[in-house]
Amino acid sequence: MPDGGVTRKIGDCTLSLVQGDITQQKVDAIVNAANSRLIGGGGVDGAIRRAGGPAIEEECARIRAERGGCPTGTAVITTGGNLPARRVIHAVGPVWEGGKKGEPDLLASAYRASLTLAAQHRIRTIAFPSISTGVYGYPVAQAARLALRTVVNALRELSFDEVRFVLFSDADFKTYAEALREILSEAGSIKV
Ligand code: AR6
């Protein structure tokens, strides 16, 4: 893990939080915060496509042609192209519409689908951005708790060497670090 982050052991897996750029991460797979049409956008999606090169769009185009895209709450996998990561998992989180339109379930589902797909592809180390908290407007403190709870729960069934969250801003890094402290302090007494 890069310097300056937070790490915790969850069973055999290292769960880590770092501040940085996900395109630079030397892990088996990075996760993209994509849209359901798999059409390149801004934010982390734009950064991943720029750094990974045209091979990512070629595979997204094939997936669009075969199955029309990637519904919200699900994920697909492509090559990492020129990235240090060998694969990119494109996960689609919900657009925040106030929280009563199933957004929490859809966000949890995007994280679970990414981890399930990763495990199927024998990925041992994976890095996530903060899905849905940019253009899609999901409040970051709520998203952080949900993302971390979902990952901690998934690690009961799926095996990874490391799950890393890469937070672009220092403020988001601090929000995730605080959420992780809360979740792990609750973990002894209640179901996370
Ligand atoms: N590394 C890590 N995190 C990043 C990076 C980076 N290089 N760049 C931005 N972020 P967003 P969403 C953070 O908007 O809300 C796209 O257009 C960013 O600061 O990328 O799920 C897609 O095509 C924020 O914390 O994703 C979709 O249409 C987080 O990544 C739509 O945006 C997510 O912000 C998806 O919106």
The Å distance, Cα 110 to ligand 1 centre, comes to 14
Among 89, 96, 106, 99, CA closest to 163: 89
Q: What is the mean pLDDT of residues 67-91?
A: 98
**Cβ(172) to ligand 1 under 6 A?**
yes
Which has the minimum average pLDDT: 29-33, 67-71, 185-189? 185-189
- What is the enclosing helix (H) or strand (E) of 11? none
CATH number at residue 101: 3.40.220.10
CA distance 166 to 169: 9
pLDDT tens-place string over residues 12-55: 999 999 999 999 999 999 999 999 999 999 999 999 999 999 99
Which atom belonging to ligand 1 lies closest to the Cα atom of 169? 19
Whether residue 191 is predicted with pLDDT greater than 70 in this model: the reply is no
Q: Is residue 191 part of a domain?
A: no
* Alpha carbon 95 to chain centroid, angstroms: 15
Q: What is the pTM of this model?
A: 0.96
> How many domains does the chain divide into?
1
**Cβ(19) to ligand 1 under 6 A?**
no
- Mark whether 45 is an active-site residue: yes
**Cβ(41) to ligand 1 under 6 A?**
yes
Q: Is residue 1 part of a domain?
A: no
Per-residue confidence band for 2, with pLDDT thresholds at 50, 70 and 90: low
The Å distance, Cα 74 to ligand 1 centre, comes to 16
Q: Is residue 56 part of a domain?
A: yes
Q: Is residue 135 part of a domain?
A: yes
**Cβ(23) to ligand 1 under 6 A?**
yes
56-64 LR contacts (CB < 8 Å, sep 24+): 56/80, 56/81, 56/88, 60/90, 63/38, 64/37, 64/38
Q: Is residue 182 part of a domain?
A: yes
Q: Is residue 181 part of a domain?
A: yes
Whether residue 153 is predicted with pLDDT greater than 60 in this model: the reply is yes
Q: Is residue 20 part of a domain?
A: yes
Q: Is residue 126 part of a domain?
A: yes
Q: Which domain holds residue 137?
A: 6-186
Strand order in the sheet with 87-91: 6-10, 13-19, 162-167, 125-128, 29-33, 87-91, 75-79
Among the listed residues 12, 45, 105, 170, the single catalytic one is: 45
